[in-house]
Amino acid sequence: MTDRQTQIKLTNTKTRHKDVFVPIDPDNVRMYVCGPTVYDRAHIGNARPVIVFDVLYRLLRHVYGADHVTYVRNFTDVDDKINAKAAETGRSIREITDETMQWYLDDMRAVGALDPDKMPRATEYIGAMITMIEGLVESGHAYVAEGHVLFAVESYKDYGKLSGRSIDDMIAGARVEVAPYKRNPMDFVLWKPSSEGQPGWDSPWGYGRPGWHIECSAMSYELLGETFDIHGGGNDLMFPHHENEIAQSCCAHDGAGFANYWLHNEMLQVEGKKMSKSLGNFFTVRDLLDGHDGQAPVPGEVIRFVFLSTHYRKPMDWTAEKAKEAENTLRYWMDLTWELEPTAEESFTPETKLVDALSADLNTHLALTYLRSLHNQPQKLLDNARFMGFLSDEARQKRREIESAIPHGSGRGGSEVLAKLAVELDALRNAAKLSKDFAPVDALKTALLEAGVEVRMSKTGVELEAGPKFDASKLEGLL
Binding site for Zn ion (CB under 5 A): 34, 216
C-beta of 100 vs 328, nearer to ligand AMP? 100
Q: How far is the CB of 44 from ligand AMP (least distance, A)?
A: 8
Identify the residue among 31, 34, 129, 428 touching ligand AMP (CB under 6 A). 34
Cα 58 to the chain's mean position, in Å? 13
- In the complex with ligand AMP, the residue whose CB is nearer, 101 or 267, is 267
CB of 320 to Zn ion, least distance (A): 32
Which residue lies nearest ligand AMP, judged by its C-beta? 234
Q: Which does 216 bind (CB under 5 to 8 A by kind): Zn ion, ligand AMP, none?
A: Zn ion
- From 243, 252, 225, select the one nearest 23 (Cα to Cα): 225
For the segment 48-77, give every residue that binds ligand AMP (CB under 6 A).
48-49
Q: Which stretch binds ligand AMP (CB under 6 A): 31-39, 142-150, 200-208, 445-453?
A: 31-39
Residues 136-170: b if buried by 16+ CB within 10 A, e if exposed: bbeeebbbbeeebbbbbbebbeebbebbebeeeeb
- Farthest CA pair distance, the chain: 80
Q: No. of H helices and E strands in the chain? A: 16, 15
Give me the 229-268 binding string for ligand AMP, x by CB under 6 A, dash otherwise: ----xx-xx-----------------------------xx
Interface with ligand AMP, residue 200, by CB under 6 A: no
CB closer to ligand AMP, 226 vs 266:
266
For residues 294 and 280, give the distance between their C-alpha atoms in angstroms, rounded to a whole number: 14
Residue of 23, 36, 120, 160 interacting with ligand AMP (CB under 6 A): 36
Give SS3 for 152.
coil
Quick one: what does residue 389 bind among Zn ion, ligand AMP, none, with the CB cut-off 5 to 8 Å set by partner type? Answer: none
Residue 124 to residue 300: CA distance in whole angstroms:
31
Q: Residue 240: is the preceding peptide bond cis (ω within 30°)? A: yes
Decide: is 37 part of the binding site for ligand AMP (CB under 6 A): yes
Question: In whole angstroms, how large is the CA radius of gyration of the chain?
Answer: 25
Beta strands in 219-301 (DSSP E): 228-234, 259-265, 268-270, 273-274
Residues at the contact surface with ligand AMP, assessed by CB under 6 A: 34, 36-37, 45-46, 48-49, 233-234, 236-237, 267-268, 275
